[in-house]
Structures are given as C-alpha cells and as structure tokens.
C-alpha cells in the first residue's frame, strides 16, 4: 500500500468535487495500491481554508500556493483555482517535481497550455486533466461500443451544453461564484467552460477535429464587476456554436450557451454511424441510448440502457442493478483511474498533452468566430 | 367489386369515428373486394341526422332505427347508440338478416349479451364488435411478437385506462355527451366504457381471465340528470380496479378511472415474460416499447419502436417511415379487416361471441366489487 | 356554398397527402364556404394516373399538365411534381389565371423562385406553398404562445431534420421515389427537402434570418441513376448544417441529414427566450414542450402539453381530449386554411412571396457552404 | 459538537449503504451538532468483518452482536442483518439503552414488531427505521406539495416496485445475497422487501390504509437452499398485488414483483388529486412529475421537475443546479435527519411505531392473499 499525498489548491465548487472524489476511494475502491491522503489544502482566505480543511478532512492548510508546492510532504498538486492561475501553478508544481491534476480547461489560451505541456514534459511528472464526464459509466460504455466497431463508418457527431444561469443582467462578473463571467480570470466564456467538455469527449469518442467554423455572442454587454463594483464590458462569449470536420470524415455540430432557459446543465451528445447510433445526456446520466440497425426491422428502435449493472463500467463498485449514481461519481472514478495509472505506470488520459489538443480546438473556435472564417485546428489525435 | 351498404345508427362520437372509417377505405385500401357504401344513417332528431348525413356523405337518413333495419338496401347495420339499445337493435337486425357491427361494450349486462349472441348465431349473420385499439399498428405488432413465442412464459399483465373528465361535480348524467354517466343508459361506468377495452386487448394478447377480485368507487354520489334536471344518485362506477389470474398462470392488474387528474385517455398495457417484455400507451400510440433479455447484457434496455415502417402492421397503406398516424386510424383498419373477412369468408375478430367473453369478465368484476369477494369469470378462451 | 375545382399535378407521395387533405374537408370542416372538388389529376403515365384518379376520387385525369392548365373547369392548380417543374408549371398556371398551391420548396433556385413570384403577382392569383408543418396543432400553438410575448427576448433557436433512408449506397438517384437524390430534379439535397421546412417554421416563429454560415457534405459520392442505369456523380448535399443570426438578435442553429441512423423523420425545433422556452418534434407531433420560468421555483420544469383539447388549434374539429392525430392532418388543415383565406379574401400564408424568403436562405446556405464564408441572406421579414 | 458512536450489525448491501451514509455527513452536513463515529461493526465471519471495518473506517469490530450491544462505547445500534434477527437484536439493544436504527422492514411479522415497539417504548430510546426513499429530494418535494394542499381531494394513489432478478430458477434461496428468498430469514418475499417501501411512502404522503384485498404468487415453487444444498419448497411470495382504501377515501393500487423482465428496481408512485397530480420513479430519481390543473388550459401538461436546485429539499448540500445525485444519497439524508432529530430532541420519522403501522398493512396483505378476502388493517395514522 502506497500513499499519495494530495495538495489541493482552490476551495470552490471544484475543490469540493475533487475532495469528495478522494474521500470515497477507500470505501469504494479499497483494492487500489495507492491511497490518496488529503495532506493539505490551500486558499488565500485563512478562515475559509481552515473551515474547508476541517470539513473535508485535510491534515493541514496553506494560504499561499507557493508554500504548498514547496512542501516535501506533498506528492500531487490538484489545481482547482480559476483558469488564469492554472499555468503559473502547474509550471511551478512541475518544476517542484509534483504530479499534477489540473481542473479543465487546461488553460486560458493555447500559448499558456503549450508552456504547461513543456513544463510537465521537462519535469517528467505524472499529470491529468479533470474532464470528468468521460468517467460517467454511460459515457465510458459509449466509448467501449464505439471502439468495438459496432457503429461502422461515422457520419455525424453533435453535442451541446445548455445552461440558463446568466440570463439575468444582475449576475455580476468576477468574484467567487462568478469568475467564469470575467474574461481575465476565465480566458473565455462558454467555450472554455462548457464546449471544452464537449470537445474532449468528442475527440475521445470520434477522433480529431480538423477544422471549425464558429460563431459567438455576448448577449449581456455589460455587467457589474465584483472587484470594482462598476459596470464593465463583458469580455466572454455567452454562447458559442460551431460546426466542423472530424479526421474520419464525419461532421460535427456543437453548441453551448448559458441562455437556454429551462436547461440547467444539459450536456448531450449523439453519434450516428452506418450501423448504429448512440446518444446521452447529463440530466439522465445513468442512461445511454442506442439504436442498432442490426435488430430485426420490425422491432428496431432507440434503446434506453440503464447503466447500473455490475458488468458495465465502474458499476461493480457501487450498488445493485437499477440503483443510480450521480454527477459526483465521475470524479471518484477519475481519482481511481489516476491511482490505477500510477500502479500500472501508464499515463492517465486525458493528460496535459491530450488536453492541449482540446485547447487547440477552443482557440480555433474563438478565432473562427472573431474572424468569421473557417480555421484549421492543427489537432494531432490520438496523441 | 362488391358493395357493402352500411346503415349506421347513432350520430354521436362513435358515429363520427365509424363514418370516417368507412370513408377512408377507398383512398387507402383500394384493392379490397368489398367497398363500403354509406347508404343510410339514423338518429331520432331529424334536423341533426340530416346534417350528419350531409356532412359524412350518407345517401339517406332515417329517424327510426326499425325503419332502417327494415330497408332492403342495407347490408350491414352499424350500432353506435348508447349501450342500453345495443341488444334490442342487434337482435332485430339479426332477425332481419343484416350483418352487424356493434360498438363496444357488447351490452350492459351479460344476460343481454347472451341474447345477442344467440340471435346472431340463430341468424347466421356476420358480426364484429368495435374494440378498435387492437387495430393500432403498435398493438397489432405486440400481438405478433407475443404469438411468435418471443416472450416465453408470461408472469404479469397490467393495464390501466385513466381519464379525468368527470372530476367536476357539475358534469351532468344522461343526455348526448354524458349518457356514459347514467347507469340506465350505460349499464356500468368505467367498467364497460374503459376496462372493457383493456380486457379485450388483454385476452387477445394473453388468453383467458379465470377469476377476478375487484373494487369500485363512485366519488361523486349525486349529479344532475340531463333528462329530469334534478339531482339524482349516480349509479355508475367512477373507478374500478381489479386483479386476476389468467389461464396461463400469469397475474393481471387492471385499473380504470375518470378521476386521474392529468390523464385524458391514457390507456396503457404492459406484459412481462420470461425472455422479453412489451408496453404501450395510447397517448403515444405509434410507439411500442420492448425489452429483450436476449440482447447483450451490457446494452440491454427498453426499446422505443416507432411503428411507422411499411413492414409493420397496416403501415404500408399510409405514408413513409417516421410519419405517424392517429387514433382514428384504428377504425379505418377495423373497417378494412371487416371487409377482408367478408372476402375470405372468415369471422372478424372480435366477434359477438368473443366480446361476450369480455362481458363475462366485466360482470364478474362488478359482482366481485359488490360482494367483496373473488369471482370466477367462466371465460372460455379462445372461443 | 362555392366549389373550388382542383387540378392536381403529380401522383407521388405528395399527390397522396394533398388529395387526402381535400377529401377530408367535407367531413371535418363542413362549415367552410368553399368546398374543394377533385376535378382532375395529371401524370404522364396514363395507366397510373387513371388508377390514382379512381382511388382518390378525381372526376377526370390528364397526362399532360398543359392540358390540365388549359381547362376551364379548373380553379386551382396544385403542383406536386418534382422541384424542377415547379417554376414552369406555376408560371403557366398563373398566366392561365389559376390559383396555385405549390408543394415546397418553392423552386430549385432563388432565380426560379423570383420568376414564379413575378408571375403570380402579375396575374394576381391566390397562392400558397405547402409548408404543412406549420399547421400541426402543437406547432400552431407554439406560434400563438410566442406571439403572446410570453417568451420575452429570444436568445436561441435550433432545429434539425434527421433521416436515415439514404445511408445505403445502393439507393439510386433519379426516378419515382428517389428523384430527391438527383440534383437536376431536386435542385439541392437536404437543403431544399428538409431544411426548407425548418427555415420556414423558424422565420414564421422567430422572424427573418439575416446571415448564415453553412457546411454541406455528400457522403456517398456516386449512385446509379435510375434513368441511365449508370453510376453517376451525386450532385446533392447529403447533409447540411448552418448557424445564423436572426433579425431579432437571436442565434440559430440548423442541421439536416439523411445519414442519422435511427431517425426516420425527426424534425425538431427549440426556442429559448428570456422567460420561457418551447420545443417540439415530429415523431411526437401531438406534444408541445414548454418551460415557464414564471412557475414557482421549486416546481419549475419542462411541461409536456398534449395538444388534443378543443380549445387548442384545430382540435375542435377532430375527436375528444387525449386522442391524437397524425402527420396527414397538417395537410387537411392547410386545405382548410386555404379555403378560409378565399372566404375572407386574405392571403394564405406562406404565400409564394414568403416562400421566396425561405429560398433566399436556402440559396445563401448553399453559397456559404460552397464558398466557406458567411453570406447575407437579403431576407425581408415579415413580407 | 457531540459524537454519536455507531455500532453497525451486518455487513451486507445495507451495511454498505448505511456506512456510506455516516461517512459523508462530515463533508456535506458539517454544521450538525452531532457527528457520527464508526465505533464498531459486527458480523460473524471475522475475516470479512475485519476487512469491512478497514474498508469503511470502523474503529473496531465484533463477531457477536451481543458483545457489541454490551459495549459502553456504543451510543446507537444500527441493525442491517436479515429480517429474522431484527426483533431479538432490537429488543436487546433497547434493554441495553442504545438508540436503534433498524433496516426495514421492521420485522418479519406484526407480532415481532409489536414486541419491538414495546421494548423501545419501555426503554425510551431514540429509534428510526430506514425507509430511505422518503429522503430522496423529489419524494420529499412531493410530500411538501401534498401537505400544502395543492392537490385538493385525493382520488387515487398507485405504486409499484418491479424487479426481475429472480426469474431464473437457478437463483438459490438462503445465504448471503439471497436470504431474501428464504421465508425463514425474510418473513415474506416482495411484501416485506418491496411493498413495505411503497406502503411507508404511501401512508406518509396520503395517510392511513384502512383495508386491503390482495393476491400473491410464487412462480418458482422450489429452489436450492444455500444452507442445505437441497431443493426446497419456496415459502416466499414472488409477487404481491393489492388494492385498498385510504382513510381519506382515495383508492390505492399496489404491485410488486421480482418477475417483471426489464425492470431492475422500478419503484414508482402516482397520486391523483382534484387539482393536481404527482408521479415519481426510482430509475429517474432526480425528477418529480407534476400536472397542475390550475395552469392555463391551453398549456396544461405533465411537468418534469429536475429536483437539483438549492431551494429544493436537501439540494443546498450538494452541487449546483442540474447536477444529479443518486440512490445512496437517500441514506446520507436519513443519517442527517436522525442527527438533527437528536439535536432537536424530536422523533425521527419513521419511528418504530410508524413502521409498525406499515407492518400492519403487510400482515393484512398476506392474510388477505392467503384467505382470499378483504382485511381491515387496524392502522392508526398519523401515529
């Protein structure tokens, strides 16, 4: 049994999901060689970080991430801070020889991401990026079915990520819950926050994205900034849509927005192949839907597969058939897979390098939207 | 080409659905040997029956059903009047040597039904009862799948028919739209009106019902009678539930009500077999749902079969795959099947004799509810 | 009572849907001032057109459409032929002073469409184009809700039309059932066949489309031509995707394909407004889904409205609450609305002029895809 | 801060769900006055209980439950063993002055349950029974809506619990995973295992059940017993159906089975009131469906409420809107509510006394099925 001493930076929403991920390993994946240990958590506000440490069981806390990275008793740094700090922290952590688990998106810009990849490659440290949705059982099952060749030639891939939480112009930009609306902190709006998920899953399932044609929109042009209290121009994209070619010749269609009234976190994808199709959505995350053209013609139909059986991905670890799991389990699975990758001395996908390919698409998307023209992504996949 | 001259009695809701059934045969089933001809329609109010005849294309009208039956130019009598007149009209029509198409339920009581069956057997006339839901393509497909043996041993059958249109105590009993609330006219409430459909389908799909244990309720005890204008005791059952054994050892569960807020005409059934299950509902009538345990275990699920392809029942007559049909098409199909039965000189199921078996179950259900004990039905199926 | 004598040209799938539309008016819309009369039908094959006339009840037939147009006893010409003949027939019919009901799309190209509009304006004849989906009750209800202002500012509109019937490379191009794959006959592939529907509905519901960025794909590059029996290059678009701006500032996203395995005729749209959202799909055409943000926060949700009640569009003409109608009813409603427009001496939307605006978008879409750049549509809406 | 020292007896499926429930309190309900501490776990097999203790974090273990109860450092005993041991353990624990959390059903028989209630009342110890489904947010929301009076007079309540895991005759009876098929260990089959859940929820939501009429069936008559290795008669009910009257005059319909092919753990309920209806199912546990008749008539429909917002029950403790939770969270909530009940010195519903009322219904159901007659339940609700 080996201990992996975690140093977590950032105590927001993602700090909570990751901490929960670590905490549940012992109960549900007891046979892994590596055990995570919540060694330290870091955030600037001492009172808050202390409370967080107590709530989640961290053995200690720091208020300066550099102090955390400098510690000898930390094996892996988990970066849960806003996007504008990912590069600096990751590069420093790599230099300090720490493993790195970085919340997505990898970076604000492709250039930042490239520096980060250089740094982890130079340091030779283990790394992964939290594109957690891959680890939902129904999504992993989709991957298995696609990889089996069951779908045949792929014609279409479509995904969207629809939210509605920023429709009110009274939502501020900047600050704890709303830094995602501040272009300085976030780098982009829905492109990095939501589409990045869609792109990661899409390339994982369907291969590289070759070129894109995109549009973006900022519906609310000014919002009060939490830092200044003043109305400021909004720099992020409120909505982003694009179509694309995949390397395999299929067509992609992507949409994300925070202005789709009625949808809270509706991430959906669908893939249409010659022989079969699959679709999935995050609001009903335990289901995978499948149409199999090889069924007898009179009984063909879309099948709702409730992915809760022991022979389906990850589900032997949880309850009994029919009993569903939730959003948070994706993070537990990612922790487990990271620990397993250490055991097997293999990369834990998506690595920084893979996540950089997603950044290439994001950058091309923003570029294409700004310049109103098609853009090649330069993606190399698999990588 | 032979002409079947129809004499329709009753110009209410069912008069309309049947007339529409006849009218569409020429366009959609042009190759049948027999063509229906709307020879005459009958209703007591001359003004109304005249308008009905004009609207639906009847060549003539009568205001006395006995006159209609007496006519030489009528081959088949279609009975669409309230239940209390079915027996008298059918017996007279049989004696007059007319074929009979009788709206369901066959009769108010089992005794009435027995007289009707005797009459049509004595007369040797063709006959059928309008249990139209059998003829929806998805329901017919269910029958084909069950008959193929695909489901294996059957364990469960459940059906319900939920409506909400009589919740208000202001709905009267008796009269044109509301004779179904008047026990004199209807014989029973939801048992004859709704459960009779469920029972007919159930025995067609799953065989005879052996014994029943039922309960009924009348939620609104008094309603104004349309005839008298006075508040009168309500004699019908507002809701009826029963469980039962089928001859094949499976268990049945049935429920019907007009007090299920939010459901307009939600007729559903589900059948669970050893190897597969099927379910269907009238609000989404073009779909049949199927679970097939012989699918690979990791991709098993309930399949939504959109029954609109040319190799599925009746659908070669209509449009192209994906384009749905509606409620009314069940009546067109029943007309087509009746005409085809004449061509082939075969009975058109459900015959009066089969419908009498459904009456046996209805009677046993009411009896069981009244006496609070199990009742044998005496059903012989198939018959 | 006035008679509208119809001359129908074309006896394919649309010839059947329109004929059925006329035939059902007397039974379901008996109080209209104008009654359609199936005066003549035209198709080149005499044997077939004779059989069609008999099946559908046309009083006569022609094998040359010019002969049909020349007849004095025809008031309105209904064009159901492949797209390459729309312009010539419509222009001739207009010159002959006939009313025109033209199947969609209006034309193969914008230029053709402009000639057609000129012709009907010069002739001053009544005209309409069969964008039938507007007349499904759930879609009309969506229009009423949007027009009421309930949705507030609109942010997003998305639509797709997904089919899978041409995936096999063995499907030929050209000929009776498959002229839609022949670019000469069809003008375009899914753009004119499927997207045109989506665009018509979208502009009707959400106003003009200002500019577009599109991509198209032809997955199967060669198909046997039914006329020559030889493999020929496929000229149509198998799939077409575009995003756009509406005049009201909302973003549009459209996709259509015949390569989405598992979808037969899945036309869907969704519109997201500040206060409410709506969505609909053709496979469940009796339902409209609505999310209303003004509901109490703890019970907000997407509502499935079963549009079958008498106070909902068109449904007072059919059955009783809960009982669904089908695809074909959209054509009956369009006939009824055309007849009503004569009665009221008003245009029957979509007129040729409105349909020309849809052609503008289609042309801009094809252009944009070919040239890989944004295109202004030049649409004027309303028109 | 006070510590509640837990002694858990039984390390099967329920041992795991309860342990998980305790373990997550600190992370998600950090502000409760009482903190659970996993002091000891007990099971007969030392090797297994030791491993369980390590996996779940118990400070110690026992192999004899009497030893566990005798310990001074245990405040509350959690009973997760098969049903045949509930009474003996609970009575002993009560005598030892321990709080008791007992897995459902309370007991095998009503008589056993009565002894248990007597014992806890005599001892005056805190107690609760794990009818966990009440604590799913959507179910708790249903309770709130019903209690608000929104539904008006109730007409119907229906519930079922459908599984399919015992269809194969090769499933044994008795032993670790399958004691639920052994009548000695379980007391009954689906009645105590599944229907007990349905009855508990039903009475909580809709009040007392007055009388019942039931039927049971044992489809597989003999199964190998895990203890003896011999084929033995099966004593449990494989399926159980009943209808009933509630005290409020509404009609109930209940069904449970382990022979409904295609359903893993499909617990559903629906309640129909004069003004509104609600329905829910365990396979989509984050949703509550609601039909509200007070909506405008043209936009009435069944609403899918995704219960994940912070103002909905329990959801302020978890993630952000749109992100779902799973089955296991119901146990976390029950732990939290038990701890809160200590803080407030209030009973934690369902208490043993309430659970005894559920036993009364179960007993009446079995009695009714055996004797083929209606049975009064003798339920007093609320209690």
Question: DSSP labels for A215-279?
Answer: EEE-SS-EEEBTTT-SEEE--S-SEEEEEEEETTS-EEEEEEES--TT-SSEEEEEEEESSEEEE
Q: Are B101 and B75 in contact (CB under 8 A)?
A: no
ipTM: 0.97
pLDDT value at A267 more than 90: yes
A2-132 has which fold? Rossmann fold (3.40.50)
Which pLDDT band, with edges at 50, 70 and 90, does C300 fall under? Answer: very high
Show the low-confidence residues of chain D (pLDDT under 70). Answer: none
- Which of C141, C287, C298 shows the shortest C-beta gap to D141? C298
Chain D residues close to A26, C-beta within 8 Å: 55, 57
Residue C83 and residue C105 in contact, taking contact as beta carbons nearer than 8 Å: yes
Residue A223 φ then ψ, to 5°? -140, 150
Helices then strands, each counted (H, E), chain A: 12, 17
Encoding tokens for residue D341?
């009940």
Q: Which residues pair with B173 in a beta bridge?
A: B225
What distance in Å separates residue B324's CA from the closest CA in chain A? Answer: 15
How many angstroms separate the CA atoms of D14 and D82, rounded? Answer: 10
How confident is the model over C73-101, as a mean pLDDT?
A: 98
If interface means Cβ-Cβ distance under 8 Å, which residues of chain D face chain B?
155-156, 158, 162, 164, 167, 213, 215, 217, 219, 239, 241-243, 245, 249, 251, 253, 255, 257, 259-263, 272-277, 291, 293, 300, 302, 372-374
Task: Please report residues of C whose CB lies closer than 8 A to that of D315.
Answer: none
Contact across the interface for A290 and B299, Cβ inside 8 Å: yes
pLDDT score recorded for residue A155: 98
Q: How far apart are CA C165 and CA A157, in angstroms?
A: 18
Residue A179 reports pLDDT greater than 90 = yes
The Cα angle at residue A22 between residues A18 and A23, in degrees rounded to 5: 115
Residue D371: burial class (beta carbons within 10 Å; 0-12, 13-18, 19+): exposed
Largest CA distance in chain C: 66
Cα distances (Å, whole numbers) of residue B86 to B80, B117, B124, B363, C98: 8, 12, 18, 17, 52
Shortest distance between the Cα of B146 and any Cα of chain C, in A, equals 24
Buried b (16+ CB within 10 A) or exposed e, A38-77: bbbbbbeeeeebbebbebbebebbbeebeebbebeebbbb
pLDDT digits (tens, 9 = 90+) for B60-93: 999 999 999 999 999 999 999 999 999 999 999 9
**CATH 3.30.360.10 is held by the domain D133-326+333-376:** yes
Q: Indicate yes or no: CB of D309 within 8 angstroms of CB of C298.
A: yes
Q: What does the domain layout of chain A look like in residue ranges?
A: 2-132, 135-376
CATH superfamily assigned to domain B134-325+352-376: Dihydrodipicolinate Reductase; domain 2 (3.30.360.10)
Q: How far is C211 from chain A (nearest CA, A)?
A: 12
Q: How confident is the model at residue C383 (pLDDT cuts 50, 70, 90)?
A: confident
- Interface with chain D: mutation pick from B153, B157, B262, highest number of D CBs within 10 Å: B262
Cβ proximity of B34 and B4 under 8 Å:
yes
CATH number corresponding to C2-133: 3.40.50.720
Longest dimension (CA), chain D: 66
Residue pair C143/C204 in contact (Cβ under 8 Å)? The answer is yes
Per the CB < 8 Å rule, is C305 touching D299?
yes
Confidence of residue A312 (pLDDT cuts 50, 70, 90): very high
Structure tokens at C366: 């094809």
Residues B13, C321: Cα–Cα separation, whole Å: 12
E strand intervals along chain A: 2-9, 34-42, 61-62, 76-79, 99-102, 127-129, 154-162, 209-217, 222-224, 231-233, 239-246, 251-257, 266-273, 276-281, 287-292, 302-306, 375-376
Residue B110 CA to residue B101 CA, distance in Å, equals: 18
Could you give the CA distance from residue C181 to residue D163 in angstroms, rounded to a whole number? 49
For the cut 90, the answer to whether the pLDDT of residue C177 exceeds it is: no
Residue C261 has pLDDT above 90, yes or no: yes
Q: What is the pLDDT of residues C186-239, one digit of tens each?
A: 999 999 999 999 999 999 999 999 999 999 999 999 999 998 999 999 999 999
Chains with 3 or more CB pairs under 8 A to chain C: A, B, D
Residue C163 predicted with pLDDT over 90: yes
- Cα–chain center distance at B325: 19
pLDDT, one tens digit per residue, over B250-264 is: 999 999 999 999 999
- Considering only the beta carbons, identify the residue of D285, D318, D321 that sits closest to A264: D321
> What secondary structure letter does DSSP report for D103?
P
Residue B222 pLDDT exceeds 90: yes
* Contact between chains at A327 and D319 (C-beta distance less than 8 A): yes
Residue A383: what pLDDT?
Answer: 84
3-state secondary structure (DSSP) of residue A307: coil
Q: A261–C241: do the CB atoms touch at under 8 Å? A: no
Residues C364, C190 contacting (CB under 8 angstroms): no
Q: Which residues of C28-59 are buried (b: 16+ CB within 10 A; e: fewer)?
A: bbeebebbbbbbbbbbeeeeebbebbebbebe
DSSP tally for chain B: helices H, then strands E:
12, 17
Task: Judge whether D40 and D52 are in contact, CB under 8 Å.
Answer: no
The minimum CA-CA distance between D307 and chain C, rounded to whole Å, is 8
A–D interface: beta-carbon pairs under 8 A:
101
**Beta-carbon separation of B239 and D156 below 8 A:** yes
Distance CA C94, CA C90 (A): 6
The answer, yes or no, to whether residue B177 has pLDDT greater than 90, is no
Q: Is C283's CB within 8 Å of B17's CB?
A: no
Distance of CA C371 to the CA centre of its chain: 27
Place of tokens 């976390």: D332
Contact C327 B323 (CB under 8 A): yes
Q: Which residues of D touch C (CB under 8 A)?
A: 141, 144-145, 287-290, 292, 295, 297-306, 309, 311-312
Whether C290 and D299 lie within 8 Å, measured CB to CB: yes
- DSSP designation for C300: -
Q: Return the CATH class of domain A135-376.
A: alpha beta
CA nearest to C212 within chain A: A215
- Do the beta carbons of residue A203 and residue A358 sit within 8 Å? yes
Question: Cβ-count burial of A95 within 10 angstroms (0-12 exposed, 13-18 middle, 19+ buried)?
Answer: middle
pLDDT at position C176, please? Answer: 84
Per-residue pLDDT of B338-353, as tens digits, reads: 999 999 999 999 999 9
Burial class (CB in 10 A: 0-12, 13-18, 19+), B347: middle
Is A177's pLDDT higher than 90?
A: no
Which residue, A135, A71, A116, is CA-closest to A340?
A135
C-beta separation of A4 from A339 below 8 A? yes
Q: How confident is the model at residue A310 (pLDDT cuts 50, 70, 90)?
A: very high
- Convert the pLDDT of each residue in B273-328 to its tens digit: 999 999 999 999 999 999 999 999 999 999 999 999 999 999 999 999 999 999 99
**In the predicted structure, residue A1 carries a pLDDT above the cut 90:** no
């Amino acid at each position: 049994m080996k201990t992996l001493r975690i140093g977590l930076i950032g105590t927001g929403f993602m700090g909570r999901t990751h901490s929960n991920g670590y905490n549940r390993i012992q109960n549900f994946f007891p046979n892994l060689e590596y055990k995570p240990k919540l060694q330290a958590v870091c955030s600037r506000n001492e009172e808050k970080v202390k409370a967080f440490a107590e709530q989640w069981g961290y053995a200690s806390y720091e208020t300066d991430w550099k102090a955390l990275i400098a510690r000898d008793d930390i094996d892996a740094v988990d970066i849960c801070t806003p996007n504008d700090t990912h590069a600096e922290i990751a590069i420093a952590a790599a230099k300090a020889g720490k493993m790195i688990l970085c919340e997505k998106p990898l970076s604000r810009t492709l250039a930042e991401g490239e520096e980060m990849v250089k740094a982890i490659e130079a340091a030779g440290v283990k790394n992964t990026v939290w594109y957690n949705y891959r680890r939902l059982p129904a999504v992993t099952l989709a991957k298995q079915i696609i990889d089996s060749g069951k779908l045949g030639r792929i014609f279409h891939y479509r995904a969207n990520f629809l939210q509605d939480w920023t429709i009110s112009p009274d939502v501020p930009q900047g600050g704890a819950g709303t830094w995602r609306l501040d272009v300085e902190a976030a780098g982009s709006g829905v492109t990095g926050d939501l589409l990045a998920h869609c792109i990661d899953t899409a390339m994982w399932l369907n291969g590289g994205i070759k070129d894109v044609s995109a549009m973006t929109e900022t519906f609310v042009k000014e919002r009060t900034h939490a830092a200044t209290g003043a109305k400021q121009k909004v720099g992020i994209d409120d909505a982003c849509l694009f179509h694309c070619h995949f390397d395999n010749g299929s067509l992609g269609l992507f949409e994300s927005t925070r202005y789709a009234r009625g949808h809270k976190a509706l991430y959906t994808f669908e893939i249409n192949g010659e022989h079969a199709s699959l679709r999935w959505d995050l609001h009903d995350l335990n289901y995978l839907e499948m149409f199999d053209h090889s069924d007898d013609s009179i009984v063909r139909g879309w099948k709702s597969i409730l992915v809760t059986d022991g022979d389906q991905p990850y589900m032997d670890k949880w309850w009994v058939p029919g009993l569903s799991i939730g959003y948070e389990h994706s993070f537990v699975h990612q922790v487990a897979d990271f620990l397993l990758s250490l055991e097997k001395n293999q990369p834990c996908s998506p690595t920084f390098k893979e996540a950089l390919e997603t950044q290439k698409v994001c950058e091309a998307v923003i570029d294409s939207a700004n310049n109103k023209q098609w853009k090649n992504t330069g993606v190399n996949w698999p990588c």
